[in-house]
Structure 1
Amino acid sequence: MSRGAKLSGDARMLRRASLRLGLQTAGAVAVTVAVLTAVAILVVVHGQHRQEDELLQTTIGRADDVTDPPHGVWLVLRGSGQGQVSPGLPRGLPDEDALRRTARDHLARTDDLSVAGREYRVRTQPRGAEVAQAVLDLRDAHRERSHIVRALLLAGVAGLVVAALVGAWWGRRTVTPLSEALALQQRFVADAGHELRTPLTLLSTRAQLLRRRLSREVDHAALRSDVEGLVADADRLTGILEDLLLAADPRAAAVDAPVDLHALLDGETTAARAAAQRRAVEVEFRSEARRPVVAGSEAGLRRAVNAVLDNAIRHARTRVRVHLTESGRDLVVDVLDDGPGIDPAVLPRVFERFASAARLDDGGTRRYGLGLALVSEIAARHGGTVSARNQHTGGAALTLRFPRAPE
């Protein structure tokens, strides 16, 4: 994939992130507007009801006769077998049931009635020897409430549009530095890979030419062995570089080749013994797995094993043990050292980048740079895990778990 294609993909990722932030902002504003609208409607409705009740009570208390109530209100008076009704009282009113109950128990009551598709608020209460009932048409109140709700909805929609635009703009400003940092990292890895691939190829070619020349000589077995190791190391380094480039591209397909974990561990522990001997550390490998095959990248798995082995050898006092066992459908690699162990303060974050800790019991410092963090990333890419603990007998134990490849 070309650099231009990668940058185009980053631009698409940036636009998608900005859009998501805009939509999230709009969603938050929508919830806020909905809550505020509901609260405003409740306040308006409560205020209208209070005003309506006050109007009905005032009408009953101050009206001299049934022709006196204000516009939109009708008055009914009942007493001594006679009754008066305001002109124009809508059909279906008054509320005879409320009049009878109030006349019987002398208790005031307020009800909302729907008559012929229109709503009314009815107040019935004793008035001297009479029972008075005031009826209020609620059309004006409903009309006012509809105007308020419409205005709130229009303001809410406008607010949502503005919030989405502002959220997308702000999201783009927020994500842009991250995108630039990601592009810089990708350029660095890609450039490093491009620059390293050529010298590695030359190294491998020159070593192969040297091996051909030595093959004509019969008395250079030891030198030939060293050259064989040089070629193997160059091939291994090339594989690691290819794996690094693969890991740097999130759009690249994962490698899913069968890898013999037993052979890989045997080869890496053998290769590590030279460095271990310089530290007077013995490296032991033992395998109890019957079919130690995992699916993934051999170069990536090799990087993980090398990092764990290097960490153990650097901190061991005398011995490093590598055990390959089975646990259900998983293959388990335990790397044990007899060093100072891991500081409990840093143990929960030992697989973070550049975590470090000091153990003061031997005056030494146990440091962790990128190695174990990369181990965690490689294990996750292969569907596995890595964990760390301190042994009861002293020293650290790092455990890699990988799912066994299907047969």
Structure 2
Amino acid sequence: MSWRRDDSDDARLIRRTMLRIGLQSALVVGATVVLLCAVAVLVVLHSQHDEQNATLATAIARADDVSDPPAGTWLVVLAQGQIQATSGLPPGLPDVAAIQRVRADGIATTEDFRVDHEREYRVRTERAGDKVIQAILDLRPAHIERSRLVQALLISGVAGLLLAVLTGAWVARRAVLPLVGALALQRRFVADASHELRTPLTLLSTRAQMLRRRLRGQPTEADVNGLVEDAGELGAILEDLLLAADPRENVPRQPVELGALVRQAVDAATPAATEHGIELVVLDGPAPVWVSGYEAALRRAVNALLDNGVRHAHSRLRVALGVSGRQVRVDVADDGPGIDAAVLPNLFTRFVKASADAAPGERRRYGLGLSLVSEIAARHGGSVAARNPDSGGATLSLSLPLLRNGQVPGVAQADNR
């Protein structure tokens, strides 16, 4: 399976996912490398410190005179008021003050002595009988060894970091390639299904219009008008699905009068409600309420709420439209048994439905309607909620940002669907 890098949202999503996984892998490896380097340096420092102290202690213990100290060390001996030192003693040494202190109190001392901010020496002074011996160790070899270790650790760390980035990108690519195929398959299915339905829908709409012209003025004309409107609504839904299948299509949002849309949806749902013996009650809402969005998608959301209410109501379904602050809300309340407490937390998740969702003889439900309502609400910067009021039944609420002065709070006027 190959991945063609284009400008679609899916391709950008995949690239961002690969980059994120690669960077996360690099950060984890980088933190691990830094921690290991710090531990290694601390271990080396501790080892060098112990070795240096042991070298100084050995030099003092074996000091018969100052003429033959171990390599890299110098000896200074105070005996009978006279100070003798190994030839080539570094400038600024010996540390006479330390010798005098040890001579007076007998407490051995170990100090680091820096000369000209470049060379560093470790100086140990202790008393041996009537003598005071001072051993001086050059720390430059230890510093060189430590610098080489840090350099080697840095080189290996950078190499490991680059390897981690490459490995992370490779693993990410292998991980997301199946996702690319799944997204492409899903979009092809939606596009193909919508496209194949357009031909019979066009024929249905054409025949309905012809039938309306023949029956114009007759009592059955209202039913035919409803049939034409339903066919037109179905066509708008298919167009919306086709646009949703192509994320590269940039479609500007349009002002939608939500009150009129709700009333049209209620009129369309009235025959089904009457057939089930359900009374549809619409409470008068405020003055025209405008939102910004896609009319076909919003109509699908309201239709799904009404369809759910009709299926679960016993005798009455109430639809109300209200405005609260910068939000407009559509409430669909039924007088049915309410929502199962086990289903309520995941009611708007795909394929979630009650175990006895369908009555005998009723068409099968797939648990998609309310999840689509949730997706449409999110696409419009809104939300959907469900609750079981104390008065009984269930209430589903669709909230959307209110359009004021041509602006929708928190939502751009045009987006990539």
**TM-score, length-scaled by structure 1:** 0.91
- For residue 331 of structure 2, the aligned residue among 319, 329, 334 is 334
1:244 corresponding residue in structure 2: 241
Instruction: Report if aligned partners of 2:5, 2:11 keep a CA contact under 8 Å in 1.
Output: no
- For residue 385 of structure 1, the aligned residue among 383, 386, 389 is 383
1:150 corresponding residue in structure 2: 151
Deviation at 1:66, TM superposition (A): 1.4
Instruction: Report if aligned partners of 2:8, 2:247 keep a CA contact under 8 Å in 1.
Output: no
Moved more, 98-107 or 229-238: 98-107
Q: Go from structure 1 to structure 2 and tell me whether the alpha carbon gap of 1:181 and 1:301 turns closer, same or farther (over 3 Å shift).
A: same
1:35 equivalent to 2:35? Answer yes
Percent of residue pairs bearing the same amino acid type: 57
2:409 corresponding residue in structure 1: none
Deviation at 1:8, TM superposition (A): 6.9
Deviation at 1:331, TM superposition (A): 0.7
CA deviations over 1:127-148 (Å, ceiling 9, x no partner): 2222222111111111111121
Q: Which has the higher helix share?
A: 1
Give the Cα–Cα distance (whole angstroms) in 2 for the partners of residues 9 and 100 of structure 1: 80
Give the Cα–Cα distance (whole angstroms) in 2 for the partners of residues 152 and 6 of structure 1: 40
Give the Cα–Cα distance (whole angstroms) in 1 for the partners of residues 20 and 286 of structure 2: 47
Deviation at 1:103, TM superposition (A): 2.7
Deviation at 1:299, TM superposition (A): 0.8
1:178 equivalent to 2:179? Answer yes
Instruction: Report if aligned partners of 2:226, 2:268 keep a CA contact under 8 Å in 1.
Output: no
Instruction: Report if aligned partners of 1:56, 1:135 keep a CA contact under 8 Å in 2.
Output: yes
Give the Cα–Cα distance (whole angstroms) in 1 for the partners of residues 313 and 246 of structure 2: 36
- For residue 273 of structure 1, the aligned residue among 270, 274, 285 is 270
1:320 corresponding residue in structure 2: 317
Structure 2, unaligned runs of 5 or more: 406-417
Q: Secondary structure at the match of 2:318?
A: strand
1:284 equivalent to 2:281? Answer yes
1:110 corresponding residue in structure 2: 110
- Mapping of residues 320-399 of structure 1, within 5 Å: 320-358=317-355, 369-399=367-397
Instruction: Report if aligned partners of 1:387, 1:400 keep a CA contact under 8 Å in 2.
Output: yes
CA deviations over 1:170-228 (Å, ceiling 9, x no partner): 1111111111111100111111122122222222223223333334xx4x2x2322221
1:69 corresponding residue in structure 2: 69
2:411 corresponding residue in structure 1: none
Structure 1, unaligned runs of 5 or more: none
Deviation at 1:123, TM superposition (A): 1.5
Q: Secondary structure at the match of 2:354?
A: strand
Q: CA RMSD in A?
A: 2.5
Q: Secondary structure at the match of 2:75?
A: strand
- Mapping of residues 159-178 of structure 1, within 5 Å: 159-178=160-179
Give the Cα–Cα distance (whole angstroms) in 2 for the partners of residues 329 and 163 of structure 1: 48
Moved more, 101-110 or 277-286: 101-110
Q: Which amino acid aligns with 2:376?
A: I
Instruction: Report if aligned partners of 2:191, 2:241 keep a CA contact under 8 Å in 1.
Output: no
1:308 equivalent to 2:305? Answer yes
Moved more, 59-68 or 47-56: 59-68
Q: Which amino acid aligns with 1:270?
A: D
Give the Cα–Cα distance (whole angstroms) in 2 for the partners of residues 198 and 106 of structure 1: 107
Give the Cα–Cα distance (whole angstroms) in 2 for the partners of residues 12 and 377 of structure 1: 21
1:26 equivalent to 2:23? Answer no
Q: Go from structure 1 to structure 2 and tell me whether the alpha carbon gap of 1:81 and 1:369 turns closer, same or farther (over 3 Å shift).
A: same
Deviation at 1:242, TM superposition (A): 1.6
Q: Secondary structure at the match of 1:275?
A: helix
Give the Cα–Cα distance (whole angstroms) in 1 for the partners of residues 177 and 222 of structure 2: 53
Q: Secondary structure at the match of 1:287?
A: coil
Give the Cα–Cα distance (whole angstroms) in 2 for the partners of residues 379 and 209 of structure 1: 37
Moved more, 252-261 or 175-184: 252-261
CA deviations over 1:80-100 (Å, ceiling 9, x no partner): 321111111100112233223
Deviation at 1:291, TM superposition (A): 4.0
Deviation at 1:254, TM superposition (A): 4.8
2:202 corresponding residue in structure 1: 201
Give the Cα–Cα distance (whole angstroms) in 1 for the partners of residues 286 and 180 of structure 2: 45
1:88 corresponding residue in structure 2: 88
Report the count of equivalent residues: 398
- Mapping of residues 42-57 of structure 1, within 5 Å: 42-57=42-57
Instruction: Report if aligned partners of 1:254, 1:296 keep a CA contact under 8 Å in 2.
Output: no
1:125 equivalent to 2:122? Answer no
Deviation at 1:368, TM superposition (A): 6.8
Give the Cα–Cα distance (whole angstroms) in 2 for the partners of residues 377 and 11 of structure 1: 21
**TM-score, length-scaled by structure 2:** 0.89
- For residue 224 of structure 1, the aligned residue among 200, 221, 224 is 221
Moved more, 32-41 or 77-86: 77-86
Q: Go from structure 1 to structure 2 and tell me whether the alpha carbon gap of 1:324 and 1:12 turns closer, same or farther (over 3 Å shift).
A: closer
Q: Go from structure 1 to structure 2 and tell me whether the alpha carbon gap of 1:164 and 1:257 turns closer, same or farther (over 3 Å shift).
A: same
Relative contact order higher in (CA < 8 Å, ≥ 6 apart): 2
